[in-house]
Amino acid sequence: MSTTSFSVDLRDLHFVLFDQLAAHEQLAAIPRFAELDREVYEATLAEGERLAREVLAPINAPGDLAGCRFDGQGNVTTPKGYREAWELLREGGWLAPSAPSELGGSGLPFTIHVSLSEMLCGACMAFMMYAGLTVGAARVILGHGPEATREMIARKMFTGEWGGTMCLTEAGAGSSVGDNRCRATPTDEPGVYLLEGEKIFISGGDQDLTANIVHLVLARTPNAGKGTKGLSLFMVPKYEFDAGGALGARNGAKVLRIEEKMGIHGSSTCVLGLGGDLPCRGVLIGQENQGIELMFLMMNEARIGVAVQGHAMAAAAFNYARGYAQERIQGQSIREARSQDAPSVAIVQHPDVRRMLMTQKVYAEAMRSLLLRTALVVDREHATEDPAERERLRGRVDLLTPILKATCTDLGFEVAVGAVQVYGGYGYIGEYPVEQLVRDVKICSIYEGTNGIQAMDLVGRKLRVGGGALFIEWMQEAQSRLAAAAEAGLGGPAEAIGKAVQLLAASAMHLAGLGKARKVEAAMIQAVPFTRMFGLVLLAIECVEQAIVAARLRQTRGDEPLLVGKQRNLEFFVAAILPQAIALGKSIQSNDESALDPALFV
């Protein structure tokens, strides 16, 4: 049935990349992408869509049902079809599309990487987690691993011959990484340590897709200080290897069990024992006590990747719900409800279903625009040779990363829940795909730093950088973009969004005032509402800019549904969603501290 078939909205993806952002033109100005053009990008996206639809989507539901299997001896088997899919994507260079081509990647811009990730993650998020963590770990090793072997290791990881993980969390410590107790004892061999401890919630901790797995492990060396500043980072392989990459004996990093989870059953989430029945050798990455700094290189990339996962689930959920609503015949048109002879109609004709679909549509399309705009900033940051411009662009990405991670994952879950509601009772059963999306996407607001931690990072760190310089620069740009919208004939929506921008600024000032008054708890209790407000304002600006582009294109392309839809998106967002941002701003500035009463929750 088409109501259970995965699909990708290539038309909207093309609109954002080529009509709205002119990504092909911006990327052509970057020397290493100069030979790539729109035709190449369109062909790449078309093939990515085919792989998502024909290779990954068919293994998604079966993989969810089967899950991963653990043999009790430290070995994990992935669901049927995963190994074949891995080899197909590996052979085509789809596992690391933005990695350097000379090291086995495809050498594509990060912007195209994000576009492909939407498709592939939307088709089978659990499968793509193996690739995402591998590529992130490979980048850290390439930049800071042992000089003699770093390129060899990175090449094997970028090509999917080896896998990779990130090992932070320990039982009892959870998100408080500074409480980690894993120990690293130096040996007589320079740079080599013996690790002892246990890590939990390790995605891809073992699998049967690759010949080897390289774990990046945070541990504490002797006499290291407390907290995160005392942590160091170690490269811990599943199998030892020589300088040429030939595999040797099994190392003492061994899976003790796999977690039984709510979703992403095809992704092996493991408890990893270090130094239990075998010595666990690890090679120091960077310098001692530099671990959290280096790990954040991977985590920041991962947080954008998780934002893409949230959006991918939203896009998939909306496409499923739209298809179902167009085919599901139930009830009469509300205009003919009193007529006993009125024919039954597709539920897409019912007003409340249309409201739900419109909410999903606006969120999914605005998130796509915001993520790809940010990805372009990342590409420009990496390409520029101007140190000041690089610092400015990096600051923008740093400011937006916690907002993207929190907003896209929260909304991804909300859109998936909305899709279940469109399906009604059928949405709640496994015969249809949307209940799995709800279970799979929920983890996105939890891992790579919970969304509460993202909000604390935004309010406690990013807003304070340079005395608020990052936020002030963003404000100036937002006001400029809204002024351009008013000049383009969208004065009403631009004014409404502008008021939300000003209220956001006032809310930021209010939180800063609480901080100066040392009322830190009162400020942090508003961190999540502020982050949500900021995210909604960002999405509103994307909607107004898409409406401008659509209006211009309608002059030559006529009333294409996609273009009409962009203008309706703006109307709906301003009327139905933007008021949420206004309400959040008023709540943030209300000075309510009732939840902090010590008499509560005892």
Residues acting as catalytic residues = 448
**Are the CB atoms for 277 and 376 separated by under 8 Å?**
no
Specify the residue for token string 């009790």: 72
| Residue 108 CB neighbours (<10 A) | 23
> Which among 137, 156, 130 is positioned nearest to 234, based on CA atoms?
137
> Which among 546, 571, 564, 548 is positioned nearest to 487, based on CA atoms?
548
Specify the residue for token string 């909000």: 455
Structure tokens at 186: 């130096």
> Which among 162, 310, 175, 177 is positioned nearest to 231, based on CA atoms?
177
| One-letter identity of residue 391 | E
How many whole angstroms separate alpha carbon 269 and alpha carbon 228? 24
At residue 429, the 3 state secondary structure works out as coil
| One-letter identity of residue 436 | Q
Q: How many residues does the chain have?
A: 602
How many whole angstroms separate alpha carbon 163 and alpha carbon 130? 7
How many whole angstroms separate alpha carbon 34 and alpha carbon 28? 4
**Are the CB atoms for 444 and 412 separated by under 8 Å?**
yes
Diameter of the chain measured on Cα atoms: 88
| Residue 427 CB neighbours (<10 A) | 24
Q: How far is CA 404 from CA 20, 258, 374, 385, 574, in A?
A: 20, 30, 9, 26, 20
Residues 6 or more apart whose CB falls under 8 angstroms from that of 50 comprise none
Structure tokens at 278: 């075998």
**Are the CB atoms for 220 and 180 separated by under 8 Å?**
yes
| One-letter identity of residue 115 | S
At residue 321, the 3 state secondary structure works out as helix
Q: How far is CA 380 from CA 18, 362, 471, in A?
A: 17, 27, 20
Bridge pairing between strands 162-167 and 212-220: parallel
CA 557 to chain centre: 34
* 363 class by beta-carbon count within 10 Å (0-12 exposed, 13-18 middle, 19+ buried): buried
Phi, psi of 196 (to 5 degrees): -140, 130
How many whole angstroms separate alpha carbon 291 and alpha carbon 285? 8
How many whole angstroms separate alpha carbon 127 and alpha carbon 204? 10
**Are the CB atoms for 539 and 574 separated by under 8 Å?**
no
> Which among 342, 353, 266 is positioned nearest to 62, based on CA atoms?
266
